[in-house]
Structure 1
Amino acid sequence: MSNFLDYAQDGHIVTLTMNDPERRNPLTGNTAVPEFLAAIDRIHADHTVRAVILTGAGPGFSSGGNVRDMGRYAEMPPMDLRREYRLGIQKLPQALFNLEVPVIAAVNGHAIGAGLDLACMCDIRVAAEEARFAESFVKLGIIPGDGGAWLLPRIIGLSRATELTLTGATIDARQAAEWNLVSRVVPRDELMPTARALADQIAANPPHAVRLAKRLLREALHSRLDTLLEMSAAFQVMAHQTADHREAVAAFIDKRAPVFQG
């Protein structure tokens, strides 16, 4: 398996870097998906990880689907192609959705098609000033096959998501910030330090509380209020029983900095 995805850990933070800069880090026609799934499994197994940063090497974040590889799709038996989608790129949104620790997308350049959807699979997005975003599937006569039609409206609203999806238009980082697609826009040389500072800020909090809070936010996307409140009650019981909660209360009373062990 080629090394599409670089995995680096520094303290409690894992940085995943898509590393095919010459092709702008495509997500299909290569080993991207299995490498992502393996990295996510590795993070799940390592309880020292408290946050993840995802970025791309070179000038682009991700070009999405490999257009040069798409010619074969028209010749494939329909059920074989359906299986390839279900067991390939569609595994990625489910895996990132269910990852317990927060993922910050550091969008260093163009995020196009499935590349935009990949950024939307993350919990937080920060962008370099050079970043550009497009839900461009319609330009190729196809539709968002990787969950973009579910993800994008929940982030920027149905009207704007429909505009991007049906026009295939490209927006710049400033407009992405105005539309709440990204949280922050920074100069390119400040992108990774900004993402790292945000990850460190998250990692400084009790890790069990962070993981449970992320799960609640994810479940809230498709749950009724009464269902979410019931889940919140169960999660809160668990949170109150942790050593980190007791440490947080003791530190508050003692007027000292807490030390969280996870």
Structure 2
Amino acid sequence: MSPTLPALTDARLSLEGRVATLTLDRHDVRNALTGTALVDDILAVADWVNACEAVSVLVITGAGSAFCAGGNVKDMAERGGDFEGSVAEVADRYRRGIQRLPLALQGVEVPIIAAVNGPAIGAGFDLANMADLRLASRMARFGETFLNLGIIPGDGGAWFLQRLIGYQRAFELTLTGRVIDAEQARDYGIVLEVTEPEALMDRAQALAGQIAAQPPRATRLTKRLMKRADRMALPDFLDLCATFQGMCHNEPEHLDAVHAMLETMARK
């Protein structure tokens, strides 16, 4: 029986071959995260993925010409929507709104691939950086452009970017608000690969399928290890590895994988 997909408002979700694909579907506002239901949709998918054993990889992409434009600039100009009110009111809206996004995506148990089909600007750039892997169309553009609007990266983008490419490069991109193309993003280590626009989703699905073919429980545990490695002392990390390894050795998928390898070796 196929698992029930969560009901979404401004995005589309599909599941095929253990790969879930989430498509941001508000092309009319370039898939902006504010003024839409996209944050709630992404949060719902994050919760669903963690609870659904049929999913091994999550791919996130955008419909239309943009991946994600971040905040709605028209709302900013009118001091409306998420940007209305006093300092305390705006701060509370951030905490209850877009700041739930990095916390949720950081807690997703399966690998996340961002297939960046077009501009990823401001919080849209940050959304891409919350993924584990990024593939980009040649039409993609990336910019940590908050200072250009007189605001800071309020969704945690400065935390993700410097861990991805180092403090100095992240500082330069954030403080200048410079927009870079897909090739530069690959050179900086933001993007793993650059494809032609028509090949992006095929490549994303192929990579996702390669990961999804791995034993699913061990895949989730491996991602947990990768996420914790940079904030744990080595002795503590090795203790965690030992526990996770004990779990893996007692999973049926481990013996299935070992027997499959032995059969392959016997045929050679």
Deviations 1:89-128 (A, max 9, x none): 0101111111111110000000000000000011100000
Q: Distance in 2 between matches of 1:256 and 1:105?
A: 35
| CA–CA distance in structure 2, aligned partners of residues 223 and 139 of structure 1 | 36
Moved more, 225-234 or 7-16: 225-234
Return the offset for 1:256. Answer: 6.8
Cα offset for 1:83?
1.3
Task: Give the Cα–Cα distance (whole angstroms) in 1 for the partners of residues 187 and 11 of structure 2.
Answer: 30
- Work out whether 1:223 is the aligned partner of 2:229: no
Give the whole-Å Cα distance in 1 for the aligned partners of 2:240 and 2:230. 13
AA at the equivalent of 1:138: L
Match of 1:18 among 5, 17, 24: 24
Two-structure CA RMSD over aligned residues (Å):
1.6
Amino acid at match of 2:91: R
State how far apart, in whole Å, the 1-side matches of 2:232 and 2:156 are: 18
Quick one: distance in 2 between partners of 1:112 and 1:256? 49
Q: How does 1:146-157 map to 2 (within 5 A)?
A: 146-157=155-166
2:203 to 168, 191, 194: 194
Q: 1:87 aligns with which of 88, 96, 101?
A: 96
CA contact (8 A) 2:84 2:90 kept: no
**Deviation beyond 4 Å, 4+ runs, structure 1:** none
**Post-superposition shift, 1:56?**
0.3
- Give 1:146 deviation, angstroms: 0.6
Q: Distance in 1 between matches of 2:216 and 2:93?
A: 36
Q: Is the 8 A contact 2:75 2:83 kept in 1?
A: no
Q: Which amino acid aligns with 1:147?
A: G
Gaps of 5+ in 1: 258-262
Q: Who is 2:12 aligned against? A: 6
Structure 1 residues 228 and 16: alpha-carbon distance in aligned structure 2, compared to 1, 3 A threshold? same
Q: Distance in 2 between matches of 1:74 and 1:146?
A: 14
Q: Report the Cα distance in structure 2 between the residues aligned to 1:113 and 1:12, rounded to whole angstroms.
A: 31
**Counterpart amino acid of 1:100?**
E
TM-score normalized by the length of structure 1? 0.94
Matches within 5 A, 1:100-111: 100-111=109-120
Find the aligned partners of 1:181 and 1:54 in 2 and give their Cα distance: 16
Matched, 1:174 2:183: yes
Q: Deviations over 1:106-154 (max 9, x none)?
A: 0000000000000001110000011100000000111111111110011
| Structure 1 Cα separation of the partners of residues 54 and 265 of structure 2 | 24
Counterpart pick for 2:55 among 49, 65, 78: 49
- One-letter amino acid of the structure 2 residue matched with residue 119 of structure 1: A
Percentage of matched positions with identical amino acids: 48
- Which segment drifts farther, 66-75 or 147-156? 66-75
Which of 194, 213, 221 pairs up with 1:212? Answer: 221
TM-score by length of 2: 0.92
User: In the alignment, which residue of structure 1 is the partner of 2:125?
Assistant: 116
The match for 2:34 is 28
Using the alignment, how far apart are the partners of 2:167 and 2:47 within structure 1? Answer: 32
Give the aligned length: 257
Q: Distance in 1 between matches of 2:201 and 2:8?
A: 25
* Alignment partners' CA distance in 2, 1:60 and 1:74: 23
Task: Say whether residues 1:37 and 2:43 are aligned partners.
Answer: yes
How far 1:2 moved relative to its partner?
7.2
Secondary structure of 2:68's counterpart equals: coil
Q: Aligned letter for 1:221? A: D
Tell me the CA shift for residue 33 of structure 1: 1.1
